[in-house]
Amino acid sequence: MSQLSNACHIMSVAAGLALAGGAAAQNSPAGDDPYAWLEDVQGAKQLDWVKARNAKAEAEIATTAEFKSLEAEILAILDSDAKIPGVQKIGDYYYNFWKDKQHERGLWRRTTLAEYRKANPAWETVLDLDALNKAEGTKWVWHGADCLRPAYERCLVALSPGGSDADVTREFDLTTKQFVQDGFFRAEAKGGLSWIDRDTVYVYTDFGKGTLTSSGYPNIVKEWKRGTPLASAKTVYEGKPGDMYIAAGHDHTPGYERDFVNRTLAFYNDELYLRGADGSLAKVDAPNSAQKGVHKDWLVLELREPYEAGGKAYKPGSLIATNFNEFMAGKREFTALFEPTDKSSLAGYTWTKDHLVLNVMEDVKNKLSVLTPGKGAWAKQDFVGAPTIGTVGVGAVDDEDSNAVWLTATDFLTPTTLSIADLGKQPEVLKSNPVFFDGSKSVIEQHFATSKDGTKVPYFLVRPKALAFDGKAPALLYGYGGFEISMTPGYSGGIGKGWLEKGGVYALANIRGGGEYGPRWHQAALKANRHKAYEDFAAIADDLVARKITSPQHLGTMGGSNGGLLMGNMLTQYPEKFGAIVVQVPLLDMKRYSHLLAGASWMAEYGDPDTSDWSFIQGFSPYHLFDAKKDYPATLFTTSTKDDRVHPAHARKMMALMEAAGKDVRYYENIEGGHGGAANNAQSAHMTALAYTFLWQQLSQPAKTAASGDVEDAKPQRRPRGGISGSRL
């Protein structure tokens, strides 16, 4: 473990907002909420309600030939054998988890670097999840593996039932390719196991009553010896009331073996402790808000607040480094590795054996450089052969033994490429995604909209080269705006087939609340300032209209998770700006959110609705902003029964509220899938096709006057609630 993140395994890559929900609410719903009964996720009555609305949505959207064609095209993309198989180096092998038509739940497989360089590598199957599910009568979804250095013979494999965040951990033998009989096993819960040595692990999980935080995550971490009952495991650290997540890990780097305990109080607020051989804990006395990384000799801090140390002041967004042992001994002499400007922020960094590679964004465009540690100033060099297009990602191949890195490069119209590069040498392109759609007729632009308070807000635009600029183009605006997560260009076969190839315009918003300009951009939209994120998004919608790219009746918007909260606010606060809205796995009831299982973990972002914070939270709670007297754009809610991050009741209750008021609304809840919405490629294709087909139905057709049938663009027609037509013609 070269770095223990303050996120403690909570923030997931894919997707987005690392929230948690679950089977039911932690305490009884408010008595005046007529739809509180929908918070019972698995209740028979509730699931009957879900199935009835799923059937209506399917009848309206999924019965057309256009839908079936798009679903098949998207599934073919997801199942394509030509996709880049991303790999992770584990010992001498390169491991990949792969799903396709023949392997619905996936294969964990491996190859050598020499084979991987080939167009069609030979893969050795390590674990076939479909075969395992058949043998065990289960529906496991892969959550990853932690393999023990240096022999890499044993792994701790995490498997989720149906895609939920809660999972089990089982010990796996890489030599026999079998689960270890009577090996380490952690029952289903949120948490994990991590190796200390072959016979010892850290375990943080649900140990019974009183052992979870108010957010539903582990509040205790223990040291567990092989062959002993879990009940006898020794407590290493117990969190305090109100904590978010407690975890521990062992750094296996030869010569730098260390143990750390991480106490997460909230997002971007944690304490890191060095654990001594006697079990004592010494705090790494850095700011709680700083992301802390320990690599060999170095402590690296990514600052989110001003910090003074060694007689120097460092700005939020800076990356600073010092000798770890000297820091623990009381010294505070840091070297600034990166300092932000008004236009630049740190996108990330990665350690190799001898270097640190910086990834910086300047106006949401990546630039790489290489730093080499030294006494005082670190040597800095340009990254040789760095990609110059689109979004660039960089990650170490092996931070212990190699100075090689993986490079990915992508944009909206250019298929992703994967390269390997020894620092200082030209990268070698290993893999490229195939062309999944015809992007030759489109062009990428970047624009800036002016928000209500005068802030310039960037957004990316993909439009037809031959766009008429008459305000009639179907346009889709996507956004997120939270948790310091940046929205950057990327190649998507789903967007290409579902939208761009048809002639649609696609826009990606970089609103405040995200990380595009570092901590300041995120912090500008926290809590009482949340409205600024929504004002930014509305300003981009206005800018698209002002440029005559589209018009409100042809402009749709979509977002999920925290982006679903964004969509809820577009729906209730700015309904006149959009012709259709897709709201995915959303937060919507902001009065109840902190009581829906892990909601307490998000209060640093939104505030506490049980305090005076409600005075501003209610101003962005869509469930409470809804007005039955208002006209709203056509709306589609999607979620998952198995989502144990954002409780599906948010979408269920908002659907029920709008449905009762006779609004133009439909709903689809996938039974599996967790917060990602789908557990396999077929489910993903179905959900994606539903969203894009619905949007195209609503936005691509001109409305007609009631008197003459002449085309006009004043306002789109609304289909009566409950209609089953698959077209707005």
Together in a domain, 61 and 124: no
Q: What is the pLDDT of residue 543?
A: 98
- In the chain, the percentage of residues whose pLDDT exceeds 70 is 91
Does residue 654 form part of some domain?
yes
**In-domain check, residue 720:** no
pLDDT at residue number 712: 32
Measured CA to CA, the distance from residue 223 to residue 202 in angstroms comes to 5
Please indicate whether residue 351 or residue 30 has the higher confidence score (pLDDT). 351
Residue 426 has pLDDT above 50, yes or no: yes
How sure is the predictor about 728, in pLDDT bands with cuts at 50, 70 and 90? very low
> Cα Rg for the chain, rounded, in angstroms?
25
**Scanning the structure block, which residue is given the tokens 């300092």?**
339
The answer to whether position 226 is within a domain reads yes
Please compute the mean of the pLDDT values over residues 146-162 and round it to a whole number.
96
Q: How far apart are CA 143 and CA 140, in angstroms?
A: 9
CATH of the domain at 219: 2.130.10.120
Clarify whether residues 199 and 57 are in a common domain. no
CA distance 556 to 686: 20
Residues 63 and 159 in one domain: no
Q: Exactly one of 143, 675, 684, 686 is catalytic; name it.
A: 675
Residue 54 pLDDT: 97
Say how far apart CA 229 and CA 184 lie, in whole Å. Answer: 10
Instruction: Identify whether residues 256 and 133 lie together within a single domain.
Output: yes
Residue pair 455/438 in contact by the 8 Å Cβ criterion: no
Cβ atoms of 504 and 696 within 8 Å: the answer is yes
449 and 586 belong to one structural domain? yes
Q: Cβ contacts of residue 58 below 8 Å, gap of 6+?
A: 668
Q: Which of 568, 704, 556 is nearest to 634 (CA)?
A: 556
pLDDT at 727 over 80: no
Report pTM: 0.88
Q: Is residue 312 domain-resident? A: no
Q: Which long-range contacts (CB under 8 A, 24 or more apart) does 278-283 make?
A: 279/236, 281/237, 282/328
Each residue's pLDDT tens digit, 199-210: 999 999 999 999
Average pLDDT over residues 429-457: 97
Tell me: do 107 and 254 sit in the same domain: yes
pLDDT, residue 723, reads 27
Query: Same domain, yes or no, for 69 and 91?
Result: no
Label residue 678 by pLDDT band (50, 70, 90): low
The residue segments making up the domain with residue 172 are: 84-283
| pLDDT digits 0-9 by tens, 112-136 | 999 999 999 999 999 999 999 999 9
Which tokens go with 578? Answer: 């959009």
Find which of 161-165, 252-256, 641-645 is predicted with most confidence, using mean pLDDT.
252-256
Query: Do 357 and 394 meet the contact criterion of CB atoms below 8 Å apart?
Result: yes
Residue that is last in its domain, among 252, 268, 283: 283
**Per-residue pLDDT, 378:** 94
CB 105 within 8 A of CB 529: no
**Who wins on pLDDT, 1 or 648?**
648
Residue 289 lies in a domain: no
Same domain, 556 and 676: yes
Tokens linked to 186: 């952690």
Residue 714: band (very low, low, confident or very high) from pLDDT cuts 50, 70, 90: very low
Instruction: Give percent of the chain with pLDDT exceeding 90.
Output: 85
281-314 pLDDT per residue, tens: 999 999 999 999 999 999 999 999 999 999 999 9
Predicted local distance difference test score (pLDDT) of residue 698: 98
Cβ-contact 57, 49 below 8 angstroms: no
Residue 351 or 16, more confident: 351
Higher pLDDT, 680 or 67: 67
Residue that terminates a domain, selected from 235, 258, 283: 283
On whether residue 402 sits in a domain, the answer given is no
Identify the weakest region by mean pLDDT among 78-87, 270-279, 439-448, 636-645: 636-645
CATH of the domain at 582: 3.40.50.1820
Do 111 and 68 lie in a common domain? no
Using DSSP bridges, classify how beta strands 281-283 and 269-275 pair: parallel, antiparallel or unpaired: antiparallel
Out of 442, 561, 621, 684, the active site residue is: 561
CA 655 to chain centre: 24
Question: Per the structure, how many domains does the chain have?
Answer: 2
635 and 677 together in one domain: yes
Same domain, 60 and 109: no
675 is catalytic: yes
Given a cut of 90, is residue 325 above it in pLDDT? yes
Q: What is the distance between the alpha carbons of residues 586 and 592, in angstroms, rounded to a whole number?
A: 13
Q: Where are the alpha helices (DSSP H) in 182-334?
A: 324-328
Mean pLDDT over the full length of the chain: 90
624 and 672 fall within a common domain: yes
Q: What is the rounded (10 degree) CA torsion for 140, 143, 149, 155?
A: -10
Quick one: pLDDT at residue 681? 87
Q: How confident is the model at residue 3 (pLDDT cuts 50, 70, 90)?
A: very low
Give the mean model confidence (pLDDT) for residues 695-722.
Answer: 50
DSSP string, 461-522: EEEETT---SS-S-EEEE----TTPPP-----HHHHHHTGGGT-EEEEE--BTBSTT-HHHH
Amino acid code (one letter) for 691: A
Flag whether 1 is in a domain. no
Task: Quote the pLDDT of residue 22.
Answer: 33
Q: What is the pLDDT of residue 215?
A: 84
How confident is residue 644, by pLDDT bands cut at 50, 70 and 90? confident
